[in-house]
Amino acid sequence: MSNDQGTQKLWGGRFTGETDPLMHLYNASLPYDYKMYKADLEGTKVYTSGLQKLGLITADELTKIHYGLDEIKKEWDSDSFARHPNDEDIHTANERRLGEIIGRDIAGKVHTGRSRNDQCVTDLRIFCRDTLNEKLLPALLDLIKVLVKRSREEVDILMPGYTHLQRAQPIRWSHWLSSYATYFTEDYKRLVQILTRLNVSPLGAGALAGHPYGIDREFLAEGLGFNGVIGNSLVAVSDRDFVVELMFWGTLFMNHISRFAEDLVIYSTAEFGFIKLSDAYSTGSSLMPQKKNADSLELLRGKSGRVFGDMAGFLMSLKGIPSTYDKDMQEDKESLFDALTTVEHSILIATGVVSTLSVQKEKMEAALTMDMLATDLADYLVRRGVPFRETHHISGECVAKAEQLNLSGIDKLTLEQYKEIDSRFEADLFETFNFEQSVERRDATGGTAKSAIFKQLDNLESQLK
């Protein structure tokens, strides 16, 4: 190990032997935790202000430190930061570079009373908070807005609603759009809740036992934009519940995205033809020139498994760790960063798909069949005082009769044939066979009538405000 103070490891004083080069690579996290450079520099700025408040560094030293940190940020921002082989992580790299800029005597004071245990998790919480505020929440809001906008504009389009992937009842295309806007709004609200829980400060907890110089942790928390401090130093350095929560959130969100994508994959097939994807979100076949593949949607569906794997892998790493900090916890970053990036990109792709797809109104409405109004036929008799369980059976007999006679639908039965099944049918029963009226009858909260859909959309928009 080098004796040069500019390149030695932060923990190197105890060790006299050389580190196995493979062990150095196995241990190093700079290749991925460099993403936290802004958070690390911001944390050091506020922490050194706390040290100056204690009188452990002078005002002049603080000015030089902050100058050096600003210079390092410029280098990272411009991608000109020169990494050293012994830069184990972002914290080591930044402190080493600070020493080169302002001198090692002053730079050596920035870590007074601080451990990488509280430093790295502070950086991670700041990074997560900023990622949620600057990327995920705005992107998710845009996706919801696109769904709501299309839902309002295309409310007159009817389509089959499905259960068991079988035609069930007519609905509005807007009702389908609103359903995923509802899922994603719940995801948005969950993410805001997680943001509140993760935005607490571990800084000043030291390695595990607390700060030896009585630093003002509330001052540090306020300076870094945290809502408060973690009240137990052991928990402060070892808690990764916020990482698990974020990856669970990502897994649940991607599950919703996957189901959304699966619906659209089906709707885009020639057999359905309900929608057409923009060329921007489709690819062709290397062999078959006629093909237009919904690769964007298939990737959305596939990457849900990737995010779930990130979460499952980290949970397996976390489950057997004793208190407090252990090196296993370094596994939090690669999986979390991958999950957050995958989710962000998935939101952006989904927004692009929804924004640019075209709806084939005629195809959707041509897929509506009269057997889908069998429940409406049962409701016709319910309105005449017949118990629903009886009307359900009667309506089923009507469907069977139409099939037996090889008719194209239950609307093709004559009034006499209906009366043979049940004498309570009257001539006005044929008014039942109207898809527009069918959807408009379902005007209770959450239904597929226009008024109900607009209420859904108004409610979603009010929640997002």
Residue 317: its H or E element: helix 295-318
Percent of the chain that is helix, strand, coil (3-state, to 5): 65, 5, 30
* Catalytic pick among 164, 286, 358, 423: 164
Sign of CA dihedral 256, 197, 318, 44: positive
Cβ atoms of 91 and 73 closer than 8 Å: no
- The number of CA neighbours under 13 Å toward the Cβ of 438 is 27
The DSSP secondary structure of 106-147, one letter per residue, reads HHTTTTTT--HHHHHHHHHHHHHHHHIIIIIHHHHHHHHHHH
As a whole number of angstroms, the distance between CA 220 and CA 222 comes to 5
As a whole number of angstroms, the distance between CA 351 and CA 347 comes to 6
Amino acid, res. 110: V
As a whole number of angstroms, the distance between CA 461 and CA 141 comes to 10
Q: Which long-range contacts (CB under 8 A, 24 or more apart) does 70-77 make?
A: 71/101, 72/37, 72/41, 72/97, 72/98, 72/101, 73/37, 73/38, 73/41, 76/34, 76/37, 76/38, 76/41
Helix 90-102 vs helix 59-77: angle between axes, to the nearest 10 degrees? 120
285 is catalytic: yes
What does the DSSP 8-state code read for residue 212?
A: T
Length of the chain: 465
As a whole number of angstroms, the distance between CA 286 and CA 234 comes to 57
Q: Which residues contact 391 (CB under 8 A, 6 or more apart)?
A: 377, 378, 379, 380, 381, 382
Q: Where are the beta strands (DSSP E) in 188-298?
A: 275-276
At residue 288's C-alpha, the angle toward residues 282 and 293, to 5°, is 20
What does the DSSP 8-state code read for residue 383?
A: T
* Catalytic pick among 2, 278, 285, 408: 285
- The number of CA neighbours under 13 Å toward the Cβ of 435 is 20
What is the distance between the terminal CA atoms of the chain, rounded to a whole angstrom? 57
Residues annotated as part of the active site:
164, 285
